[in-house]
Structure formats: C-alpha cells, structure tokens
Structure 1
Amino acid sequence: MTINTPQLIYYRLLHLSLIRSKLIENMCPPPEDSVVKSVAVESSPSNNSIPPPPPMYKFLIGGLGLSTVGLLVATILLASNGGDSSGTAAAPATTAAAPSTTATSPAGVEFLKSKEMSAFFATPDTDNVCAGAKLAFDNKLCVDLEVPTPQAGANVTKGYVGDLDVGDLVPNTKPYWQSSMCPVNVHWHLGSEHYSVGQYDETGNGPNGNIPRPEWADRDLAATGTEDTDGEHQVQDGFRCKYYDPNDAKFTTPYNWQHCKDMVVGETYEVHWPHSAAGACGTVNQYQTPFYDGVFCNLPLDAFLTLGAQDIAGAVGVHGQVFTIVNDESYFYPDMIRGMIVDKEMGKDIHIYTGSTTGETRSNEMCSQYAPITWQVDRKCHMISASSFDKMCYDMKMQRDDMSDDLHAHGSRELVKDDLAANNQYYPVRKLLRA
C-alpha cells in the first residue's frame, strides 16, 4: 500500500496526539474520589473548568507541544524532499569526513633518506664514541711469535684437534650474551674459511667452482682467487657447500641487489659476527666498521695490557656460520645482523675453539696477533635467501657508523695448518628434544 504525503502527515499528527494525551493522563491522574468529584463538577454551575495543573506539568506539556510542532515540520520537509507517490526511499545523507590531523609520511619516502636528515646522524664523527678505538697489532711471521698464538679459521670437523699446545687456555663455551658480550659488527667472506668435511670442503661447488685441498693436505693454493661480478673487488676464495645445482633455478636466477655489493646467487659465504664485552652494547654505536673499533670501544690500550690470554678469550668471540645464497623467499630470514641464526638445525652443531682474526692478509706464514679469541662455528652449511643478505646490508646502512666497507664479501684466509690450530676444541653435547 502506498501512502501519499497528506496521509503521512495525518497519521503522524494522530500518533503524536495520542502520545500527548496519554502523557497528560499519566502526569495528572484523578484523585481516589474521582467519581464523586466528577459528578460534583458536572452538576455544579459554578465549576466551568478543570483546575490548572501544577507549574512543572505546564512546562512538560509545553515542551511536548513544541516537540510535536518540530516533528510535524520535519515530516513535511521529509515528504517534500524525499517522498513521492511511488514509495521510493530517499538516499541516505552522507557526512563529509573530517580532515585527518594525524601526521603521515609522504608516499615513497625512504628510510635511508630520513637517516640523512636525522639529528641522530648529523655528526657521526663526533657522536660515535667508538671511532678510532682499534688497537693496532700488525701481522707477524708465525715463526717469530714468542708465545703460542692460535690461529683461525681451522678445521671444525667433529673430532678434529689441532697440534698447537695452548696449555690451560680454554674457549668461552657459554652463549656470548651470557658473558656480557654483544655483536659489534657483521661481515662475510667469499667461500668458507673454516673446513667441515661433508658440509663445506673441496667437494662442494658453486657458480665459480671450488678450491682444492691445501698443499699440506694434498691441495695446491697457487691458483686461488675469484673475481667478482664487476671487478671492483678481487678476493681469495674459500671452500664451497654442496647445495649448488646449476639445473635448479633458485641457484641460478639473478637477484636484484639493492644494498649488498658484488654478491652472487648460488655462491657460498661465511658470515662472521664479532662479539665483545667492551663494545658499546645496547647503544646506537654498537655496530662498527672496522669491527676492531667495536671490539675495543671501551678497552683502551693501558687496560688491555693488564689482561691475560684467558681474559681475552673469555671477553672476545666470533660467531661463524656458512650459507649458500638462493633466490627463493622460502629461505628468507629478516634479522641476520643480530647474530648467528639459531633455529631447528641452524646454529646447533657447534665447534668451539680459540683462534685469531682471519682474512686473506693472514696465512700459514703470516699470523694475526689478535689472539686468542673464542670461535663458535656452525659445522653445517645452510641455504639462505638473497633477500636475507640484502636486508642485512640495509640494516648495516642504517647504523650510525659507516659500514659500507663491509657490504661486500672479503677474501678468505687459507685453511690453518695443524701446528697453528689450538688443541682445545670443545664439542657441546646436543640436547635432544623429547617428543
């Protein structure tokens, strides 16, 4: 049934009139002897009207009357603006959204650009308390070392023990964070510097091949060295893992690198996270390049000279973990800058020993004097996505200190001879999870 405008107004007025009558009746109820008084009023010629209600009721009745008029006007306007004889409903009114007062970042603004404008990074040379903290100890001929100075990277195959007698010196076998140490840098080497049979050794492979065993272990190192993609860095390479398959796209599909330099999908890299109890732990100056600045940040030379070999081995350490890079996001890990990945089979089969700093400037003739420091090395090789590395390089760019010199792979030291490798290897007992 269709109701036209006059009918709508009529029914609305009738409805409001009934409501008004009911309210008046409720507000002014008749007295208990209403029947008697009603008869008296009707028979008395002098009582021509009902006594007026109290003032409060007058106010309420007046308000109700005004409300009735207001509703009537609203009904007429509604009928004239939106009503018609077809019964089509009027479109609901829309309210314009109030302008937002919340500040938002303009689209496309990059955090690296924000860093350039940030007051936190305005004067990094003066604000970086670790800048220049490195204590300089030049490499030295291994035969001229006056005290046993164990070197790295060594063979980390389970059961291996070096021939260098280091006496009572022991590595730090605790998780580094339990010894008040924090990571002060992250960098990586082309191929692995360490050697783990069946994981990263001469039987592995990669897009640039592999290296054979060393001469003293049936290998010739004369032809080592792999040139990177743009020729900017030519570094000595190490061993490869065994994952690489040239017929599998995840090992051969190029990745569009945004932050890391001269990296290759399918290649093997050994990542190092130097840790120190003398670092600027928990501050914006924690990560440093070169890593020596981070290691010695709060350890001046006069204090360092008071430390014994065991003190150093207990306060300075490196995490080492070997990866093959794949172009596959199912291997993405977002926080490599923080330290060794410990999850499932990653970071569980650990080889611990005391050694030194590494890099291609050291060899089995020229030794590092930055020793003894603890090494905790994952014996297993793992696949990791190229995007994981690129995210790590991005995080490195976001540090206060300029870490650009560590955005590419460094050269690998040749495998340390047995007589330069410590005899204090430690093999943690793996705790099997109960089903």
Structure 2
Amino acid sequence: MDRRPRNAVAGLLMLVLGVVVVALTQTNNPSSATFELTAGEKDGGDETPPMVRRDRNLDENEGTTAPTTATESSTTAPTTVTESSTTGPSQAPPTWSPTRYQGPNPCEGKRPDLPNALCFVEGIPQTGEQAPANVTEGYLGLRDTLGVVPVTVPFWQVASCPVGVYWKLGAEHYSYGEYDETGTGPMEDASSDDVRQGYQCQHYDASDPKFTTEFDWQHCDGMTVGQTYEIQWPHSAAGACGTIWQYQHPFLDGVFCRDSVLVDTAAELGVQAQVFTVVNDDSYYYHDLMRGMIVDEYSDRGTDVAMYTGSYTLGGGLDNTVCSQFTPLTWHVDRKCHLISASSMDKLCEDMKRQSDDFITGVALSPQSARELVSDNLAANNQVSGGAGTAIGK
C-alpha cells in the first residue's frame, strides 16, 4: 500500500501544531509580546517628581532627587510634614547676604520722605487720623474723617498683599477686658530706654509652667515667655505681590514699592493686628505667621475684628503731640487676645530670615516699641466691626 498520503497528513499536522506552540509562547512572554506604555513612560520616564518641603530653605530644593521607589516616597514624606508641624523651627539658615539672590531689590529706598509732624498747631489738626485706637466694641473717636471709611472686606479682595511683619512689646491697641491696664505678665513693665511696653493680656498665670518655662530661642531676639505681643502685618496694593521681593524691611519700602499705582490710600493700604501671649506649649503651635492674621472661628481667632482708619505707628517719637503723616490707611484689629507657642514665634523669625530682603541686620527680629494709645480727638469716628474671616490676609 502507498503510505505517502498518510505521511503528508502527519507532516501537515506537525506544522500546524508548531505554529500554535510558538503563538502561545509569545503570548505568555512579555519580552517578545507587544505591550502598552504606562502614562509615566509615555511622558518620557517613570521618575517621581521631587517633593518640595515648604518649611525649609528655598536653596535646599535645588537638586533634590526623587525617591528611588514608590514606597520611599509614601513613607518619608509624611514624616517631614509631621516634623514641620510639631517641632517648629528647623536649623538656622545661612547669614543673609546681598548676593543670595540675583538682581537688584526693586523696592529698596521706595519709602517716601514724610517726617513726623505736630498733631495740632493752635488747636488745628496738622495730620489725619492716628493709630493705635481703642478697639473696644462700641468705641468711636472724635476725629471726623470727612467721609473716609475703612476697608471692610479681606485685603486680598482689594488687591493688597502683606509686605512686612513686626510685633510690638505688649498690645499697642486697647480692648477692654482682653488687653488693657489690668493685664499682667512676667514683668510689671518690660520697657527699656528704646522700647515702650503696651498693654498686657489677662492670660498670664505664674503658677502654670507654660507661662514661666523659658524657651530656647534660635531665631528671635529679646523675646520672653508669658509676655504679651501685638503682631502687625502691613498690606499694600503697591507691593511687589507674588514675587520674591514681596516682604521688605523696612516695611515702608514694600508698601510703596510701586507707588505710582496708589490713588486712595485708605482703600489700598492697611494693617492687620493680632495680640498674643507667648507660652512654652506646642499645643498652641501655628506654622505660618508670615502671611497674616490667624482666622479660625473654631478657636475664636480673627472672628471679632475692629476696622477703622488711622496711621502707621512704627517709628520713634510718636505720641499725642507728635503724629505720623502716613495716614489714612485701614486697620483690621482682632479684639481678642490669644495664646501662641514660643516655637510659633521662633518659626516666624526663621521665615523672616529666609526672605530675599535683609531681615537679619538690625532689629527686625526683636519686639518694637508700642506707641501710646491715641487720644479721642486723634482717633477716627468711623470704627466698625467685622465677623469671621473679614480680615483674613492669606
């Protein structure tokens, strides 16, 4: 019998079987099969972008490398955030120098030459309304502002940004029952020849360790646990808002950085003010005092705000005889006194050291002298009240 047809069929079956085996092998082998690129590979690589730590020196972010694995990224990042929010200031940055940032400071020397002046000459006012005023609810001064009114919305809504920050020894303003002549502190009067102490809050308790345990200050100068301070944040629509030169020292350089845009100073210039007693207790830690008043209705911070027009108060020699000519501008003042941790203040000083302008040289990191409360005939008759969020400066 002729067996060639049967052999031909067997050969054909073997060929088909071989093709099937090869196909199955390629399907199960990713090295030889076609596959879809992941999103990261389509973009040119699967490297995770570096994490920027906001509480560190800007220079440290340069050259930051990505985590080697997804596991490292997810485990190390939360640790960094936790350290920032609980321990306060980190290691001190390098000493400031003019060559730290490239290019000239566009705001340097922009402060106008407006010397202080006598408040009255033969009973006639020589300047506009003054600050600090009594901010107790219901108070109105006697100075007629002739229709000038304070800004009653958040400063950012009128295109103003914070251009500086400083604090007064004691409360410069007066709020009955919160910071007034009955307040107490670690010293009856911490004034010196150059720095006058204002009012104290009602919180100090010499039997409570958080008011008496000293803090190891790394960045601020001349600070005392248990003491009352009033932090002030000047705002301006003529500042270098959104740039590395936004914060200036002296702050008036920042206020008038783009002075040609100013038309109505009461509407375009302002100051936020908030009063604190410093405690050595990190449960009162707040991570960012650089950007403005703390507004938090759950902790009653920034929820009862007095708004009026007045003057700048920084600078020596101001009282009820000698007045500032930097007026009118809007003040937003929290009527309540709050507790703040010493580490929060030290973190603020650290943040100030990291600005493009020089906050290290001079007294920018120390308490400033509080001007005495202005008399009724220098205080504006236009004070109004605001609720939660009115004065937020974020």
TM norm. shorter chain > 0.5: yes
Q: What secondary structure does 1:419 align onto?
A: helix
Q: How does 1:121-132 map to 2 (within 5 A)?
A: 122=99, 124=101, 126-132=103-109
Query: What's the TM-score, normalizing by structure 2?
Result: 0.73
Give the corresponding residue for 1:397.
Answer: 353
Q: Partner letter of residue 234 of structure 2?
A: P
- Report the CA distance shift for 1:321/1:103 in structure 2 as closer, same or farther (over 3 A): closer
For 1:430 and 1:320, the matched residues in 2 are separated by 15
* Residue 361 (1) aligns with residue 361 (2): no
Match of 1:111 among 57, 79, 98: 57
For 2:14 and 2:266, the matched residues in 1 are separated by 92
The Cα shift of 1:361 comes to 2.6
Question: Do the aligned partners of 1:184 and 1:286 also contact (CA within 8 Å) in 2?
Answer: yes
Higher mean displacement: 274-283 or 390-399: 390-399
Q: Partner letter of residue 192 of structure 1?
A: A
Match of 2:285 among 332, 338, 341: 332
The Cα shift of 1:129 comes to 0.8
TM-align CA RMSD: 3.3
Q: How does 1:252-291 map to 2 (within 5 A)?
A: 252-291=212-251
Give the corresponding residue for 1:416.
Answer: 374
Question: Do the aligned partners of 1:163 and 1:422 also contact (CA within 8 Å) in 2?
Answer: yes
Q: What secondary structure does 2:265 align onto?
A: helix
The Cα shift of 1:104 comes to 8.6
For 2:17 and 2:3, the matched residues in 1 are separated by 28
Q: What secondary structure does 1:354 align onto?
A: strand
Match of 1:162 among 141, 147, 160: 141
Higher mean displacement: 382-391 or 182-191: 382-391
For 1:387 and 1:123, the matched residues in 2 are separated by 26
Match of 1:350 among 305, 308, 311: 305
The Cα shift of 1:410 comes to 0.4
* Residue 178 (1) aligns with residue 157 (2): yes
In terms of fraction of residues, the more helix-rich structure is 1
The Cα shift of 1:126 comes to 4.1
Give the corresponding residue for 2:269.
Answer: 316
Q: What secondary structure does 2:350 align onto?
A: helix
- Report the CA distance shift for 1:248/1:369 in structure 2 as closer, same or farther (over 3 A): same
The Cα shift of 1:127 comes to 2.7
For 2:14 and 2:169, the matched residues in 1 are separated by 94
Give the corresponding residue for 1:226.
Answer: 191
Question: Do the aligned partners of 1:181 and 1:316 also contact (CA within 8 Å) in 2?
Answer: yes
* Residue 140 (1) aligns with residue 95 (2): no
For 1:111 and 1:429, the matched residues in 2 are separated by 36
- Report the CA distance shift for 1:45/1:272 in structure 2 as closer, same or farther (over 3 A): closer
For 1:112 and 1:103, the matched residues in 2 are separated by 17
Unmatched 5+ stretches in structure 1? 1-43, 68-100, 211-224, 228-232
- Report the CA distance shift for 1:129/1:148 in structure 2 as closer, same or farther (over 3 A): closer
For 1:328 and 1:294, the matched residues in 2 are separated by 33
Give the corresponding residue for 2:202.
Answer: 242
Give the corresponding residue for 1:213.
Answer: none
For 2:198 and 2:374, the matched residues in 1 are separated by 12
Map Cα deviations across residues 48-86 of structure 1 (whole Å, 9 max, x no partner).
x9665239639949x99xx9xxxxxxxxxxxxxxxxxxx
- Report the CA distance shift for 1:121/1:139 in structure 2 as closer, same or farther (over 3 A): closer
Map Cα deviations across residues 101-120 of structure 1 (whole Å, 9 max, x no partner).
99999xxxx73775989xx9
For 1:281 and 1:150, the matched residues in 2 are separated by 27
Q: What secondary structure does 2:302 align onto?
A: coil
Question: Do the aligned partners of 2:286 and 2:341 also contact (CA within 8 Å) in 1?
Answer: yes
Map Cα deviations across residues 28-61 of structure 1 (whole Å, 9 max, x no partner).
xxxxxxxxxxxxxxxx6989x9665239639949
Q: What secondary structure does 2:15 align onto?
A: helix
Q: What secondary structure does 1:370 align onto?
A: coil
Question: Do the aligned partners of 1:246 and 1:252 also contact (CA within 8 Å) in 2?
Answer: yes
Q: Partner letter of residue 111 of structure 1?
A: N
Q: What secondary structure does 2:386 align onto?
A: coil
Match of 1:195 among 159, 164, 174: 174
Query: What's the TM-score, normalizing by structure 1?
Result: 0.67
Unmatched 5+ stretches in structure 2? 26-46, 62-92, 390-394
Match of 2:327 among 357, 367, 371: 371
For 1:399 and 1:428, the matched residues in 2 are separated by 31
Question: Do the aligned partners of 1:332 and 1:387 also contact (CA within 8 Å) in 2?
Answer: yes
For 1:104 and 1:179, the matched residues in 2 are separated by 35
Give the corresponding residue for 2:75.
Answer: none
For 1:348 and 1:299, the matched residues in 2 are separated by 32
Identity of aligned residues (%): 48
Q: Please say which structure displays the higher CA radius of gyration.
A: 1
* Residue 425 (1) aligns with residue 390 (2): no
Higher mean displacement: 177-186 or 397-406: 397-406
Q: What secondary structure does 1:390 align onto?
A: helix
For 1:146 and 1:202, the matched residues in 2 are separated by 28
For 2:207 and 2:7, the matched residues in 1 are separated by 106
The Cα shift of 1:141 comes to 1.5
Question: Do the aligned partners of 1:155 and 1:194 also contact (CA within 8 Å) in 2?
Answer: yes
- Report the CA distance shift for 1:280/1:113 in structure 2 as closer, same or farther (over 3 A): closer
For 1:347 and 1:294, the matched residues in 2 are separated by 24
The Cα shift of 1:226 comes to 2.4
For 1:158 and 1:269, the matched residues in 2 are separated by 21
For 1:295 and 1:50, the matched residues in 2 are separated by 100
For 1:395 and 1:366, the matched residues in 2 are separated by 34
For 1:375 and 1:412, the matched residues in 2 are separated by 16
Give the corresponding residue for 2:31.
Answer: none
